[in-house]
Amino acid sequence: MKKKRSVFSVIIIALVVVIMPLYMLGFGLYQWGHTLTNREITQSMYTRSTFFMNTLENEIRRIKQVHQECLNDDDLYYYANASSIMTVQERVKNLLAIQKRLNMVYDSSIYIADVILWMPQLPHMISTQRGVDPMKEDWEGLLQELVYDSASTLIEHEGELYLCAAYPANPRFSDIPPTYILAIRLSSEKIAEEMLGFNMYPESGTLFQLSGKDFRLLVGNDIGLDKKTADSFQDEKASGRMTFTRTLTSLSGDKFLAIRIPSAYLNGELYTYVPTEILYGELEHYRLLFILFTVIAGVLVGTYFWFTNRILNRPVKRLVAALTQVERMQLDVKIEHEGNDEFSYLYEAFNQMVASLENMMEINVRQRTLTQEADLRQLQAQINPHFLHNSFFILYRMAKDEDYENITKFLTYLSDYYRYITRNAKMEVELRAEDGHARSYMQIQLVRFRKRLSADFEPLPEAYAGLMVPRLILQPLLENAFGHGLRDVVEGGFLHVWYEPDEAAGMLRVQVEDNGPGLTPEEKAALERKLDTQPHSETERTGIINIHQRVRARFGDGCGLSISTPPGGGVRFTLTLSLQASSQQPRS
């Protein structure tokens, strides 16, 4: 059976089908805008960070170029090799020229904090900040360390960055000591000032550090981006990515969007981080607005569902429930509607229909009862006059033969028979009464046909003796067997009657079987068609058809007569009665 779908569910599904695409479109636009804005913010941070890193790399390259040019200066070479044979005036003049040259290097970039020249054969060093200063032991060791570690572009020492070179170059791979060493100390303050321009938002910060070194230059908010945390960015190096963006959590629990810009030339990284609360603050407002919109839309849709359920679904359900009661023949139902709409008209029409139906059913039941009574009276009036004539003839023969004992029995059977069929007070009787009447009839017929017929009428089980059944449903079956089934049997005719209970199905079957010539297939089919068809005339409501119709009217369509042909020949009529009627009271 196909499952029913309510109108309310169809309306809900239709509304969802219409609303959901629009809502999903709005959600998609919101997500697209959020993603686009996030991408633009990230791209802006990346662009500024990359610009700074490229600018720093280019500036360091230019400083190294100036550094190299200064390293090959003739005044430096001459002073380093001929200072021992110079006069005082020549030495002073040459030192002034060297200082001028160093100052030119110093002035070439704002990132240069000091330019230092050291000649190992001389006991002093020349600096743009200190001038000619006696060489200290710590400076001598420092310069030699910087020179021999000059494979890196930037060299870190005690929190400062240096560019160092020696003449001749690459003293690490030669046994010849350097003639002089030129070191440039970079200004961390100036680099920090440039980095400070990245901190456009409060609580943001910028960090520059050398890979594998202890040098860290931090500007702005310190979120605890220690070396270990910064090194976690290095996981992306294996994938070949030059940049990496991730969200970091500070020591205080705040979240930051961080961008890493590596520099292979400087062997370092630049980290820029901005609080996500500030960065996405405007987006957060839109997200809250979208959530508010979703909540309001949900409330409106829920209100619509509630209102639709109240004005449409509940009245429809009330009407369906009332129709279901009517379908179950419960006609004491009446529905009311408070509004003045179409349901008010439907409810009023339904109440009128139920009232009319109840009235029609009452009339129909009354007419049906009258019809059944008329059928019963007609059946009683149709007692074959020959049966009465033959009964008197049997009595005449018995009296002539002076068989007084059998006359007494026969008159008892005949008296019980006519007393039963002439009683019109009740339409239904107990099955034991119907069984006794059928036995009286059978005994009368056995006296009449004792030379050619016999019968076996098995006892009625006591458990079913009180079952209420319509009157005159067994005797016509026996009459049919004697008058049709066994009519042409000359000798050996046999009639068998027995009861078959079926507790599982709640039925009691009465079997009436004869061993007569039986029915042809055509006769059997014609009789079955008559049993399955409502009678169209008074003449059809007689005999076994009358029994079938009355039993079905009393117990339902599952009951009544059925016909079968036993293997040994003859005809078997099965009368099926419902055991559920055993608890019902007889009808007058």
Judged by average pLDDT, the poorest of 121-135, 330-344, 483-497 is: 330-344
Rank 298-302, 303-307, 324-328, 438-442 by mean pLDDT and report only the highest: 438-442
Angle at 86 (CA atoms; ends 81, 89), nearest 5 degrees: 135
Strands 453-457 and 493-502: parallel
Closest CA to 467 of 376, 315, 584: 584
- The full set of domain ranges for the chain reads 1-54+195-279, 72-186, 282-346, 382-583
Q: How many CB atoms lie within 10 A of CB 32?
A: 10
Residue 178 has pLDDT above 80, yes or no: no
Give the Cα separation of 483 and 495 in Å (integer). Answer: 12
Report the amino acid identity of residue 503.
E
DSSP, res 456:
E
Tell the residue number behind the tokens 């009861």, with chain if given. 499
- Dist CA 578 CA 558 (whole Å): 8
Asked if the model's pLDDT at residue 514 lies above 70, the reply is yes
pLDDT at 582 over 70: no
Q: What are phi and psi of 118, to 5 degrees?
A: -135, 130
The CATH code of the domain at 72-186 is 3.30.450
Single out the residue of 114, 108, 149, 151 nearest to residue 129, CA to CA. Answer: 114
Nearest to 257 by CA among 572, 17, 39: 39
Instruction: Indicate whether this model's pTM tops 0.75.
Output: no
Determine whether 561 is exposed, middle or buried from the number of CB atoms within 10 Å of its CB (0-12, 13-18, 19+): buried
Distance spanning both ends of the chain, measured CA to CA: 41
Closest CA to 262 of 289, 294, 235: 235
- CA dist 91 and 132 (Å) reads 12
Helix (H, G, I), strand (E, B) or coil at 166: strand
pLDDT of residue 152: 58
Q: Tell me if 250 sits within 8 A of 256, measured CB to CB.
A: yes
pLDDT (mean) for 222-229: 64
pLDDT in tens, 385-444: 667 777 778 888 888 887 778 788 888 888 888 888 776 557 788 999 999 999 998 988
Give the range with max mean pLDDT: 139-153, 314-328, 373-387: 314-328
Average pLDDT, the chain: 78
CATH number for the domain whose boundaries are 382-583: 3.30.565.10
Model confidence over 191-221: pLDDT tens digits?
A: 888 888 777 777 788 888 887 777 888 888 8
- Residue percentage of the chain with pLDDT more than 70: 80
**Least-confidence region, from 68-77, 121-130, 220-229:** 220-229
499-514: average pLDDT: 93
Contact 318, 326 (CB under 8 A): no
Residue 576 has pLDDT above 90, yes or no: yes
pLDDT at 398 (0 to 100) = 81
pLDDT band at 82 (very low <50, low <70, confident <90, very high): confident
Torsion sign (Cα): 394, 396, 397, 399: positive
What pLDDT sits at residue 25? 79
> In angstroms, rounded to a whole number, what is the distance separating the alpha carbons of residues 112 and 98?
17
Closest CA to 187 of 154, 147, 230, 145: 154
Q: What is the pLDDT of residues 100-157, one digit of tens each?
A: 888 998 998 898 999 988 887 777 788 888 887 776 655 556 666 655 655 557 887 7
Looking at 179-188, 269-278, 513-522, which range is the least confident one? 269-278
Mean pLDDT of 568-578: 91
Q: Which two tokens stand for residue 59?
A: 């500036």
CA distance 169 to 60: 19
Side-chain half-sphere exposure of 209, counting CA atoms within 13 A: 20
pLDDT greater at residue 255 or residue 366: 255
In order, the DSSP letters of 226-265 are -HHHHHGGGGGGGGT-S-EEEEEE-TTS-EEEEEEEEETT
Residue with tokens 């458990």: 463
Q: Which residues of 371-396 are buried (b: 16+ CB within 10 A; e: fewer)?
A: ebeebbeebeeeeeeebeeebeebbe
Instruction: Kindly report the number of other CB atoms within 10 A of residue 477's CB atom.
Output: 20
Region 565-579: mean pLDDT is 90
pLDDT of residue 436: 93
Q: How far is CA 365 from the centre of its chain?
A: 52
What is the mean pLDDT of the segment spanning 528-547?
67
Confidence of residue 375 (pLDDT cuts 50, 70, 90): low
Share of the chain above pLDDT 90, in %: 11
Q: Give alpha helix (H) positions in 382-511.
A: 385-400, 404-421, 431-448, 475-480
pLDDT of 321 reads 78
Question: Span 366-393, mean pLDDT?
Answer: 61
Instruction: Determine the Cα angle at 372 with ends 371 and 373, to 5°.
Output: 90
Residue 372 makes CB contacts below 8 A (sequence gap 6+) with 427, 470, 550, 553
Which of 529, 526, 515, 531 is CA-nearest to residue 565?
Answer: 515
